[in-house]
Chain A
């Protein structure tokens, strides 16, 4: 096996997820080389910290992500390194460019893998309800790896591999980066709340949030949150969204109501100190991260719990 790890720069530093790729590469086994796009100094840092022989693509046109430039750089590094397996994190950069690179290489593509055993990759399907084991039979394979899947490897003291500038002729860039905009929290800061009561698509319609979810949050002196479909449907503004594209929260108590537990929601709340889940589906993945669960109809349980909490407060 010859592996190419595509590291990613975020806000002037190598992402943690890139060191997780080194762990994933170690699990597959084989010769590791790396590619760092956009910053030669960070390429040497990655080479020193486990990236092995590292290619740097430091053309100024690659300072920000753009699909044509990044795809060209990765393809050139695959060619230069002779890698048969390409690893990239399943981040907004990775999910955008990796399938395109796979198609260009006529490679097998494995998306969002979180484990690998004996050449088989494990990935979640059906929004977390099932796992699939997949195998690539192609000469080349591109794998996008779920951030957080494996603990990062950081070989600080290894001495490190050499850094080479990648010979690269950039194509015309048909998608051009203009700017990034940070999210606007809009005044709802869930990070300070001790208790968060979140409702999901199972709550069913917008009126039920003020009727069922908000009263429990208030009775507990906490804040209300939501999963993405609730926000997508316009039931609540974006500030309430918990998850990978919303807020990451770590309250003392998180109560997930009518939320199935897709990975993008879990990354936003699994660091909570204690998690209670209320869901009518006993197989909902949320029960695998919760400590305490109720399998039942939220419209029966939640109002009764709200009354009991209110009564207990006196």
Chain B
């Protein structure tokens, strides 16, 4: 079995976010990046299939040079190989452009199973996985919280609202977009990190993959015109002062609400 894991590097969840010069994205200089939280669960799910039997796990990521760090981490956790699509021509791609590029990688790799995250923590789009599945002519399922191999396919649980679940039987090859919490994600061991140094990261360009016309700002059908802080609603009254003063303010309110 061959498994492809699509992994995105995103600004660290605690990074300070400042809008960039032209107001269309955040300033990326000087902030830390990490693997998209949902994608760590996707990678773990793939590694569990490998642990349980025979599987090759290939991780693929699109992004600038810094992404090689994320790929090294994934290799350290146990992935076998990595593909890094690194090309300035990708700048300004929309979700369909990213999906086209990932589809080209998948066509070279011919995986039986594709794991992605449900959503990226920066764009919050939840768009790439179903698009990629369409381009690969595979069935897909999103918000998956359990996978189990059964006959020629998988039996999966999808999360619905309020904690309800939907049980689905899905044929292979297929794409599974993983919801957070599906598993407990491992850390890269020291041994794993050492071994990762010898594992290959194949660098690709859009031209190598034959997708130069399909990616980047020129091909994008959707563009961000402006990014800004959300409108200030009826913002909370903020208590200021020493801890004692703040606590007195909170206590006063709780009494006023009749809860003490």
Contact = CB atoms under 8 A, between A and B. Distances in A.
B61 to A, nearest CB: 19
B110 to A, nearest CB: 17
B237 A136 contact: no
A306 B169 CA distance: 49
Contacts of B198: none
Secondary structure of the B contact surface, majority rule:
mixed
B257 A109 contact: no
A201 B255 CA distance: 28
A130 B230 contact: yes
Nearest to B118: A95
B9 interface: no
Contact of A285 (B139, B143, B184, B230): B230
Contacts of A110: 222
Contacts, number: 264
B97 to A, nearest CB: 11
Contacts of B248: 308
B30 interface: no
B166 interface: yes
A157 interface: no
B133 to A, nearest CB: 6
Interface in B202-260: 220-239, 243-244, 246-251, 253-255, 257, 259-260
Interface string A133-164: 11111100000000000000000000000000
A85 B38 CA distance: 30
B70 interface: no
Interface in A245-260: 245-248, 252-253
Contacts of B243: 296, 300-301, 304
A268 to B, nearest CB: 9
B141 A67 contact: yes
Given A125-B123, A305-B247, A131 B94 contact: no
A26 interface: no
A229 B226 contact: no
Nearest 5 CB-CB pairings of A with B: A183-B163, A232-B181, A293-B236, A174-B139, A108-B221
A291 interface: yes
Chain B CB within 10 A, most for which of A99, A123, A234, A245: A99
B96 A102 contact: yes
Contact of A288 (B184, B224, B232, B249): B232
A271 interface: no
A58 interface: no
B67 interface: no
